[in-house]
A and B are shown apart, each in its own frame.
Chain A
Amino acid sequence: MSKCPFHTLFNEQGAIQLFRKKNQKENEDTNLRPSTSSHVTTYYRQLLSSDRKQQVSFVRLTEEDVQRLASIRPLFAKHVERIVNVFYNQIGQIPNLRRIIDNHSTLDRLKQTLRAYLMDMVSGEIGEQYIIRRKVIGNVHNRIGLFPEWYLGAYTIIQNEVLHILMEELPPTEATNIYRSFAKLCSFDMQIAIETYIESYTSSMMKLNEIAELQHRLTESSTTLASSAEETTASIFEVQKNVQNMLDEVTTIQRQSVQMTERVEKGKEDVKQTLTKLDGVAKLIEGTKSLTNELTDSSRKIGEIVNAIRSISNQTNILSLNANIEAARAGEHGKGFAVVANEVRKLATQTEQSLDYIQNHIDVVQQTIRKFEHAFQQIVDETRAFRQANESIIHIFDQSVTDVKSTNKKIDQFTSLIGQFHQMFDEISSAASQIAEMAEQLNDLNQELTEKFNS
């Protein structure tokens, strides 16, 4: 309790004393001093101007009665302890009442309360606050389960003891008058306490406090429910938006993936066509290669012919030489023949030269053919390598298509899952809206209930 900022207002029992009349010292003083007449009048007027006027009149409690009771305050202060002790001695003998005391208070505390209660009766201050103090007694008795029969019986104990004291201390007439006044005030007290007790008992019987508490909790819960439903709806809307975006993205990926598959298929077809063309080129090269062979063969044959001609030319040269020799032997007659023989030799020599020239060209042609063949071979090799590379590309394309198709399948599954999510969020969103609506209805109902309870 040290945390309480109002701790200075706390009494030792933990409750503030605002409704208690005065502090203890003042009480002690006033216990011994009778109230003044004007003091009593002020409070009594409060009583008459309240809605208790009829009850006051019913028990015939007059200002004179209150005044009379106030006049015996010192006497009451002297004997209050005796009344209290007699009262609790008798109460303590009844197990049911003893149990109530043990469960809900302590004997000392109750004696203190009764002391204050009795002194209050002779305070002269029978006004508005007095009524409230009596009403509280009715509430407390209901709360601790003290039924009215015990409460009414308890007054008899007090009244008897007060009567004994009055008879002991005062002349009979005065004692009788004061006792009557005291009995009237007791009746008034009982009226108030019993009326409050009945109200309080009815209220607790109908569990009105519990209903009010439940209704309060219901209000809090429905408010929390409404606000969390609102938050949930907002969150779901956000998630729904994200799922929709995800779905759009995945659809785009799906579309792009299909396009990619198509492009890869197209690329594969292009490469295949290129390979077909390449095969044509290879065939053409093969064809050209056979032509080259024929050319080589022809040049070889030309060479053979050249050689044959060269042989003939050599023989012709020898023949011309022999003819020259024979022409020389023939002398003058052989001169003409020698000329012919020389011409024939010259022709043979020229033929030899021409054959050398032809041979040179044949050699050049053969070298060119060999270079040509070598170049063809290189083209064939390159073409083969190119073909192998393209076949690898086709293989990669095939693999890519398979991979992309597999990815497409996974994307389809993913899309389907997202679609399910989307549907689920739609359902959750709809449920959240229903909850929000229900929370609102609950709030309205609660509002009605609150108005009924707090009106």
Chain B
Amino acid sequence: MKHPRLKYEQRTFAHIDDMAETLLHEVNEQLIRIDMGLLPNNVPSRNYAKFRLMHLQRSFGESIPLSFRSTYNSLWSQLYRLEHQCDYKHPYIKQLLIQLKNNDSSSAK
């Protein structure tokens, strides 16, 4: 964590802890909204949470501080759960899997 990035979108934070608290709070709210059906469980809704977590990941680097670690890990897991609940697969991954399956079937012949 040589140069913590204290900016997110149009906001600048005084300290990385403030940023982490705010962004984790926003991620949590977003995931709850999706779970409660207030927001659709789709890519844009999930990306709102995912990009915030990614930003924290980049900002903290290899090790997330203990004070945030549990929340941070839980929120990632919740996000993965939401992805799997709607059977989300990235379109590129889908294509790759199709290609792999096609290769398998052609080599089997």
Residues of A within 8 A of B (CB): 1, 3-6, 9-11, 13-16, 18-19, 102-106, 109, 131-133, 135-136, 139-140, 143, 196, 199, 202-203, 206, 208-210, 212-213, 216, 452-455
Contact = CB atoms under 8 A, between A and B. Distances in A.
Given A14-B71, A14-B74, A203-B93, A136 B28 contact: no
A199 B94 CA distance: 9
B77 interface: yes
Interface string B6-47: 000000000000000100110011011001000000111001
- The B contact surface, by secondary structure, is helix
A202 B29 contact: no
B32 A16 contact: yes
Given A13-B70, A103-B62, A454-B91, 6 more contacts: A13-B74, A15-B77, A18-B35, A105-B69, A109-B73, A203-B93
B78 A140 contact: no
Give the interface centre of B42, B73, B77 by most chain A CB atoms within 10 Å.
B73
A104 B43 CA distance: 26
Given A16-B31, A213-B51, A139 B80 contact: yes
Given A13-B71, A16-B28, A202 B96 contact: yes
Contacts of A202: 93, 96
Contact of B91 (A16, A213, A455): A455
Contact of A14 (B44, B70, B93): B70
Contacts of B47: 212-213, 216
Given A104-B64, A208-B93, A216-B51, A132 B85 contact: yes
Contacts of A131: 84
Interface string B58-81: 000011101001111111111011
B63 A136 contact: no
Contacts of B80: 135-136, 139-140
A136 B69 CA distance: 17
Interface residues of B, number: 41
Give the interface centre of B24, B32, B42, B51 by most chain A CB atoms within 10 Å.
B32
Nearest to B33: A6
- The A contact surface, by secondary structure, is helix
A106 B89 contact: no
7 contacts: A1-B21, A13-B73, A13-B74, A104-B63, A105-B73, A132-B84, A139-B77
B90 interface: yes
Give the interface centre of A6, A208, A452, A453 by most chain B CB atoms within 10 Å.
A6
A361 B47 CA distance: 129
Nearest to B77: A136
Contact of B66 (A19, A106, A132): A106
Contacts of A11: 74
A203 B90 contact: yes
Give the interface centre of A132, A208, A210 by most chain B CB atoms within 10 Å.
A132
A195 B75 CA distance: 22
B18 to A, nearest CB: 12
Nearest to A212: B47
Contacts of A5: 29
Contacts of B73: 13, 104-105, 109, 140
A384 to B, nearest CB: 83
B17 to A, nearest CB: 12
A136 B32 contact: no
Contacts of B76: 139-140, 143
B91 A132 contact: no
Nearest to B78: A15
A210 B51 CA distance: 9
A261 to B, nearest CB: 58
Given A16-B31, A140-B80, A199 B89 contact: yes
Contacts of A106: 66, 69-70
Contacts of A136: 77, 80-81, 84
A104 B31 CA distance: 21
B66 A206 contact: no
Contacts of B21: 1
A6 to B, nearest CB: 5
Contact of B74 (A4, A15, A102, A133): A15
Contacts of B54: 209-210, 213
Give the 10 A-B CB pairs with smallest separation, nearest first: A14-B71, A15-B74, A13-B70, A139-B80, A103-B63, A136-B80, A135-B84, A6-B32, A132-B84, A454-B43
Nearest to A135: B84
A71 B101 CA distance: 39
Nearest to B72: A14
Contact of A452 (B35, B83, B91): B91
A140 B78 CA distance: 11
Interface string B85-99: 100011111001100
Contacts of B51: 213, 216
Given A208-B93, A209-B54, A19 B64 contact: no
Nearest to B57: A143
B50 interface: yes
A16 B62 contact: no
